[in-house]
Structure 1
C-alpha cells in the first residue's frame, strides 16, 4: 500500500491531534530505518497504521483480544495497551496489510516483547521520540537514538516503567521482559 492511500485510511480513524502524531512517527520511523538498515517502506507503513485502533471502543478492542488469540491477561492491564494488538488485527482485516513484520511492529509498539525485531524496535522508539512528544527524558532518548537503537530503547522502556510506577499503575509483564532482554544482550 502506498503512503497516500494508507494516510487516507488512517486519517478517518484518528483525531487531528493523533493524526499529526502519526505523521511525526512516520517521519521518525523512516529516519530510524535509514539509519539502522531497516526496510524504509515497511517502517513507513507500520508507523502510519500504529495507532489505527486507538479510538475504537474499549468493548470492541476487548472482544478482539479475547477472540483472536491474543493473551487474555492483557485485559487485566491498562486499556491503553489494547489498541496495539487490536490494531494489528484490524489493519489486516480492514486495510488488507498482511506483512508479518509490519503487523508485529503494530502489535508490540505499546508493550514491547523479548527478542524484538529491528522493525518492532524502530516503531516502538519512533512512537516514543517523534518530534511532537514533550515530556521529561524524551530529549535524552532522542539524542541516544542517534548513536544506539538498543540503548535508546532501554531508556524509553525504563522511563515508561518508572512513569507507571510513580503513578501506581500496573506494568505489563512483557514490558519488563523486554527491558531485561535488552539489558542481558548488552551484558553478553
Structure 2
C-alpha cells in the first residue's frame, strides 16, 4: 500500500519519497527504521478504521521528526512559540511530540491540524483524540518491532476496538511509569481518566 501511496492533497509540498528523505536526514538509522514500521502499522489501522491513508502516512513519518533534537532546540521553540511554560519542566519524551509538532510545522511546512495534533498526542494521548490521533498513538506502540508482555493482545485489540486499545495502552504505560517511580505528565493522567477507567 505505502509504495503505491501518492500524496494528492496540499498537505506536504512534495511526494512521500521527498518526505522520507527529509525525515531520514533528521534521524539515526535505527529511529528511521522505527518510523517506517510505524507508518506500515498506521496504514493498516487507517484501512481498518476508514481514515485517510495520506494523513496516516504523513503523521506516522513525521511523528518522531524531532526525537533526536537537542534540549536547547526544544527550549528555544517553547519560548519562541510561547507554549505552556510547564513544558520546560519535562524532557524529550514529552517534548518530541508536543513541541516537535511545531518543528514539523515550521521546518516541513505541514499545517494540517489533525496531523499536528496526532504528533502532539502520540506519546501522552489526550482527552479528545481523533481517529487519526488514536491510530498514531497505537501504531507507535504496536509497530512490528515492539516486543513486550501483552503486545500481541493489544495489537489484536487495536483492530477490534481502537478506543479500547487506547485505554489499554494508557493503563499499561501509567503502570510502567508508576513502577519506575518517575513523575507522570499531567496529560497522561487525563488520558488515563478518559480512556482507561470504566465509566
TM-score, structure 2 as length reference: 0.88
Partner residue in 2 for 1:130: 143
Return 5+ residue gaps in structure 1 as ranges. none
2:193 matches 1:180: yes
Q: Say which SS state the counterpart of residue 124 (structure 2) adopts.
A: coil
Matches for 1:1-188 after TM superposition, within 5 Å: 1=12, 2-183=15-196, 187=199
Q: Say which SS state the counterpart of residue 56 (structure 1) adopts.
A: coil
Return 5+ residue gaps in structure 2 as ranges. 1-11
Q: Say which SS state the counterpart of residue 82 (structure 1) adopts.
A: helix
Structure 1 position 78, deviation (Å): 4.1
Give distance in 2, aligned partners of 1:178 and 1:76: 20
8 A contact 1:65–1:85 mirrored in 2 = no
Give distance in 1, aligned partners of 2:83 and 2:122: 15
Superposed CA offset, 1:40-86 (max 9, x none): 10010000000000000011112212331322223323431111122
TM-score, structure 1 as length reference: 0.93
Return closer, same or farther for 1:180/1:21 CA change in 2, 3 Å cut-off: same
Partner residue in 1 for 2:4: none
Structure 1 position 183, deviation (Å): 4.1
8 A contact 1:77–1:170 mirrored in 2 = no
Give distance in 2, aligned partners of 1:36 and 1:70: 32
